[in-house]
Amino acid sequence: MTGTKTICLLILCKTSLFLMSCEEVSKENQFNSQGGIEIKGKICPSSYDDIIVELTSSQMDENDRLKEVSFESIMEFMDKHKINTITGLLNSLPDHYRNNFSLVEHTRGEGQSDLNFPRIVLFGPDGRFMLNVGTKPEDPKYNLLDGAELNNKTGHWEFSQLDFTKRKPMLIKEPNECKRCHGRKDPRPIWGTSLDWPGVFGDNEAPGMTGDALSMNHIRRMNEIRNHHGGSDRFDFLEWKSNEKLMSGGFRRIANNAFGPELLVSNQIIGSATGRGAFLRLKSKNPEKYVSLREHILLAAFEEHQLESKPKLNRLLFELGLDVNESFSLATLFEEEEPNVNWSLGDGDLYEQIYLQVLHDLSESDPEIRKILTNTPSPNPIFSCPDIVQNIQELIDYKMLHLYYLQGKERYEVNKVYYPLEVERVFDLVMEPVSEPLINYLKNKILAGVLKKSHYPTIEPN
C-alpha cells in the first residue's frame, strides 16, 4: 500500500466512548472491498487487497469527529460525561474493545489477582491500546487503571495510569513503577510467548510451552463471570461468544472473530503492534542512517536466520536505536529477569516483523527489488484460501494490510468474517522464495557503491 496517511477518530455517542486507533489507509482514504468469495464454506478475500466487508460511514455515529485517540481524549470524555469510576469507563467502551480480552489469575507485575478476582487484560482489535483492569477490591491498586498506547508516529509505547482514587479521575503519565517491568528506553508490553502464557486463564497447567488448555477451575470461573455472577461489576462489559460450551483441555473463542482461539489471537495482535512500533522507532530515530542500512539488515537476516543469537543483525538494529533485549523480550520483566528476544507470535517472531517491513519499505523505493518480488510466484497459497496472491509482492502487501494497516473498528469488522491465518509467517513464505535473486542484487548494489560500503558498528548492546 502506498501513499498512506493517518486518520484518527474519536466517536462520541451519547455516553458511549468509541475508541479508534489511528488508521493507515490508502491515498484514496479507503480500503478495497470486493465482497470476498466463498471457498468450501469459508469466506475468503477475492484478491490480496480485498477486505471483504464494506466500511462506510453508516457504521459510525453521525457525531464522529476526527481526533487522535489517547488517554487525554478519554479524560476529556469522562470529564464531559461526569464519569468517575472504572466501571463507568468500561461500560462506555465500544464493541471492538469488549471482545478481545484475557483473564489473568497470577500476575507478576503491579497489582493483585487470583482465581476469584482475575485481572482483565484488554488488547483490543489491534493491540495498540491496552488496559489492565483489577477486579479484587482488596488490591491496593484497585482504583488505578494501567494502560499502554502505541504512538503511531514515533513507534514508542506510552504507559499511563488513570487514578480513580479521588472524586475526579487523574491521568498519570509514565509512572515510574511501570518501568521496572516494561523497560525504560524502549518499553514494551508484557505478555507470554506463543504456547506459554503463565498465569493466564486457558494456559495449560502443565509446565512449559504446552499450548492453551482450559482447566476445570478456569471454566467454572469463566462461566460464573459470563453469567454475571462474577462478584464484580467490572466484568459486566465483557462480550463472550454466545452459546459457547467451554471444554476442559480446550480454549475460549473470542466473540465476533472468524478464527477465535483467544490466546493464539492475542499473540498475533500484540505481536503485530509491537513489531510495528519497533520498525517505526528503527526508521525514525536516524532516517538517513536507516536508509543506508536497510540492505545490510536484510542480508544479515538471511545470514543469521537459523541462529538462535543474531549478533550481526542485533548490532545493526542497535546502531539504529533498537535494543532487541529490551524491545523484543515481552515474556520477561525488564529489571528482574534475563531477557529473551525469541518471543513468538505463533508462526513467526518479532525479527520477522522487522524483515517484512524493511523489505516492503525497499520495494516502495527500489524498482529492481519490486521487480524481483513481482516476478517471483508465491509458492504457498494463503491458508485455506488459495489464489489470493499471485506473487511475493502481493503476499507482502497482503501481510502489511492485515498486520498493520487494518486497525481499530476496521480490523474488528474484517475479522468478524475473515481472519488471516499464518499472516505472521515471513521468512519461509516471503524471503526464502526470493533469496537467490534478492541476495545477489543486494550484494551487487552495495558493491557498486550505490550505498556506503558494508560496515557493522562496534558498539555492543547491553
Angstrom distance (rounded) from CA 326 to CA 343? 12
End-to-end CA distance of the chain: 36
Length of the chain: 462
DSSP string of 405-461? IS-HHHHHHHHHH---TTTT--IIIIIGGGHHHHHHHHHHHHHTTSSPPP----PPP
Angstrom distance (rounded) from CA 350 to CA 341? 8
pLDDT of residue 93: 87
pLDDT of residue 212: 84
Cell 492485515, residue located: 402
Tell me the pTM.
0.89
Tens digits of residue pLDDT in 259-289? 999 999 999 999 999 999 999 999 999 999 9
The mean predicted confidence, pLDDT, of the chain is: 87
Say if strands 65-66 and 9-13 run parallel, antiparallel, or are unpaired: antiparallel
pLDDT along the chain (462 residues), means of 10: 34 36 42 93 95 70 40 84 92 88 91 96 95 96 96 94 95 85 88 92 75 91 96 97 93 96 96 98 94 96 94 97 95 90 95 98 97 95 89 97 94 96 96 98 85 45 42
Say if strands 144-150 and 129-133 run parallel, antiparallel, or are unpaired: antiparallel
Run of H or E residues at 353 = helix 350-365
Q: Which residues, at least 6 apart from 150, have a Cβ–Cβ distance to it below 8 Å?
A: 127, 128, 129, 156, 157, 158, 273, 276, 277
Burial classification of residue 379, based on how many CB atoms lie within 10 Å of its CB (0-12 exposed, 13-18 middle, 19 or more buried): exposed
Taking the alpha carbons of 279, 283, 286, 290 in that order, is the dihedral positive or negative?
A: positive
pLDDT of residue 74: 83
pLDDT of residue 431: 97
**Contact (CB, 8 A) for 52 and 45:** yes
pLDDT of residue 69: 52
Q: How many CB atoms lie within 10 A of CB 120?
A: 21
**Contact (CB, 8 A) for 323 and 462:** yes
Tell me which residue of 400, 96, 123 sits closest to 257, measured CA to CA. Answer: 96
Tell me which residue of 69, 235, 454 sits closest to 227, measured CA to CA. Answer: 235
Taking the alpha carbons of 170, 73, 137, 205 in that order, is the dihedral positive or negative?
A: negative
Angstrom distance (rounded) from CA 180 to CA 334? 6
pLDDT of residue 6: 33
pLDDT of residue 62: 33
